[in-house]
């Protein structure tokens, strides 16, 4: 049996594998991170690793899984160590990261997690819990007060389940103990993510006690961030390949592209690591970076996910290499770009060209199915924002509408060969009900889905011309299929 990656085996790794350049035992936790997924481990943890490597000691990360014990079970026997494999086509580099100095599984030990968050040495609580983890209404960005986890957390605040519930209770404990609040650092792809999380947590807090809600709204900092690195779910093949290169087993490495970007609003009253040394950008205004990334990158990703999946493309790299899709992407970007005020020094044409190259990275198997998940939570900021801007300004939006119709076609739940699609979405029941008339009645399905206000708000369904455009697009997709439908688009 091969040995396992751990403190003990670290010294025996091949020379070219980067590893912690500091004494891990001397590191004190300064950050609690909620959401121990692949993205965090390849993004914020890597940037923090560089800060620790440069000599800072007080920014170790205690990371918490809010659901499953799987990552803890994989990493605990490895002393929290794991590998980041950076791949671009044929090139690969490996780095073992030591920044995770503690791992908690929230459902097993909610009190231990709260104690870590309430510890005065912790000055930042960061999050990557995906869009749906905030228990908000995606169309309005407000707390969904009927959400089962929110109802639970209001009934039992001292043993929460949701991310907002943990934030509210830990802040409550700090306030009661006279400890300054931590800064809440959202690392998810939400629009105006700092302000959105502030609104959600302050509302939850005020449902507990009005004065507490005001305190959260006024005294706690929620800087906004734009986060970017493509990090697909790790596969069995990735594990085997990384293990072979290391010479020891790593039960859960992560694999990502070389590109990494983090733009952070510089508002950390309790202090922060100097992530700039790892390439992060601190700025007063994240909004233009965030709009560009959510709309140009994530919007195109979702379009490729639905239309690509339907066309039989298993990965983004496959879809983006298909000339029919490339042409579609160019048309989509041309419609999205006018809704994006370019951040200082950025040319949107160059940005789009770079995105196409990133999507085509053959070394990543980023499944279209993975990105297709949770569309109801993603589409408002990715594609509906640009659609509203186009309608307001009288600009064409055929590609945007077609991409959204791709989602509608996808949630009908049957692929082009008649096989069932495993549609994952917190609104799955509602989507399934709306899409029930199925492929036989695409026009009806389009208007029923458009009527789901948690996704589309009230305004889009009221736009008669737009409703017809959705009906036409879904009919084309249902009749002709995704790829032939794109070919038939007269652009
Ligand atoms: C993707 C993102 O899964 C998805 O919805 O669009 O995870 C994307 O890969 C990242 O935001 C890239 O930074």
Q: Please provide the DSSP assignment of 171-196 as one string.
A: HHHHHHHTPPPPEEEE-SS-TTHHHH
Residues within 6 Å of ligand 1 by CB:
189, 228-230, 298, 301, 370-371, 378
The rounded Å distance from CA 418 to ligand 1 centre is 28
491 has a pLDDT exceeding 80? no
List, as own/partner pairs, every contact residues 433-442 make where C-beta atoms lie below 8 angstroms and the sequence separation is at least 24, other chains included.
435/408, 435/411, 438/412, 438/414, 439/412, 439/414, 439/478, 442/409, 442/471, 442/474, 442/475, 442/477, 442/478, 442/479
Residue 152's pLDDT is what? Answer: 98
Residue 1's pLDDT is what? Answer: 59
Rounded CA-CA distance 487/325 in Å is 9
- Mean pLDDT across the stretch 277-302? 98
Residue 490's pLDDT is what? Answer: 63
The rounded Å distance from CA 293 to ligand 1 centre is 10
The rounded Å distance from CA 230 to ligand 1 centre is 6
Distance of CA 41 to the CA centre of its chain: 13
- Residues 443-484 have pLDDT tens digits of 999 999 999 999 999 999 999 999 999 999 999 999 999 999
Atom in ligand 1 nearest the alpha carbon of residue 261: 13
Report the nearest-CA residue for atom 1 of ligand 1: 371
- Residues 425-437 have pLDDT tens digits of 999 999 999 999 9
120 has a pLDDT exceeding 80? yes
410 has a pLDDT exceeding 90? yes
- Residues 235-256 have pLDDT tens digits of 999 999 999 999 999 999 999 9
Residue 306's pLDDT is what? Answer: 98
Query: Predicted confidence band at 488 (pLDDT cuts at 50, 70, 90)?
Result: confident
Per the document, the length of the chain is 491
Atom in ligand 1 nearest the alpha carbon of residue 228: 13
Residue 200's pLDDT is what? Answer: 98
User: Over pLDDT 90: what percentage of the chain?
Assistant: 98
Query: Predicted confidence band at 489 (pLDDT cuts at 50, 70, 90)?
Result: confident
- Residues 354-392 have pLDDT tens digits of 999 999 999 999 999 999 999 999 999 999 999 999 999
């Amino acid at each position: 049996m091969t040995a396992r990656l751990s403190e003990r085996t670290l010294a025996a790794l091949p020379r070219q594998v980067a590893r912690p350049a500091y004494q891990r035992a001397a590191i004190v936790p300064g950050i609690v991170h909620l959401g121990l997924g692949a993205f965090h481990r390849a993004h914020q943890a890597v940037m923090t690793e560089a800060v620790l490597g440069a000599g800072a000691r007080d920014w170790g990360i205690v990371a918490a899984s809010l659901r499953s014990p799987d990552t803890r079970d994989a990493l605990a026997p490895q002393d929290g160590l794991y590998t980041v494999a950076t791949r671009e086509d044929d090139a690969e580099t490996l780095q073992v990261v030591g920044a995770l100095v503690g791992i908690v599984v929230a459902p097993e030990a909610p009190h231990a997690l709260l104690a870590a968050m309430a510890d005065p040495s912790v000055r930042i609580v960061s999050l990557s819990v995906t869009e749906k983890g905030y228990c908000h209404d995606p169309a309005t960005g407000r707390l969904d007060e009927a959400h089962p986890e929110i109802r639970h957390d209001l009934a039992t605040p001292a043993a929460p389940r949701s991310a907002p519930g943990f934030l509210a209770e830990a802040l409550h404990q700090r306030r009661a103990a006279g400890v300054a609040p931590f800064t809440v650092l959202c690392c998810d792809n939400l629009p105006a993510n700092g302000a959105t999380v502030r609104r959600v947590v302050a509302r939850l807090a005020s449902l507990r006690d009005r004065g507490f809600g005001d305190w959260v709204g006024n005294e706690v900092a929620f800087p906004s961030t734009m986060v970017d690195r493509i990090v697909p779910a790790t596969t069995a093949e990735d594990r085997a390949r990384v293990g072979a290169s290391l010479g020891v087993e790593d039960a859960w490495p992560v694999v990502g592209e070389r590109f990494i970007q983090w733009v952070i609003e510089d508002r950390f009253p309790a202090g922060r690591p100097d992530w700039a040394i790892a390439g992060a950008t601190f700025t007063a205004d994240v909004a233009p970076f965030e709009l560009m990334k959510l709309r140009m990158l994530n919007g195109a990703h979702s379009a490729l996910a639905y239309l690509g999946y339907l066309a039989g493309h298993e990965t983004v790299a496959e879809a983006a290499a298909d000339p029919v899709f490339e042409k579609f992407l160019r048309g989509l970007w041309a419609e999205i770009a006018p809704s994006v005020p370019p951040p200082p020094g950025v040319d949107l044409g160059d940005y789009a060209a770079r995105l196409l190259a990133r999507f085509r990275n053959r070394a990543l198997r980023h499944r279209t199915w993975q990105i297709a998940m949770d569309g109801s939570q993603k589409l408002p900021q990715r594609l509906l924002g640009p659609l509203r801007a186009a309608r307001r300004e009288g600009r064409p939006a055929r590609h945007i509408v077609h991409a959204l119709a791709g989602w509608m076609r996808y949630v009908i739940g049957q692929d082009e060969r008649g096989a069932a699609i495993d549609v994952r979405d917190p609104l799955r029941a509602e989507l399934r009900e709306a899409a029930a008339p199925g492929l036989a009645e695409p026009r009806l399905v389009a208007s029923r889905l458009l009527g789901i206000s948690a996704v589309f708000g009230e305004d889009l369904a009221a736009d008669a011309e737009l409703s017809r455009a959705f009906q036409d697009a879904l009919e084309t997709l249902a009749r002709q299929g995704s790829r032939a439908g794109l070919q038939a688009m007269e652009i």
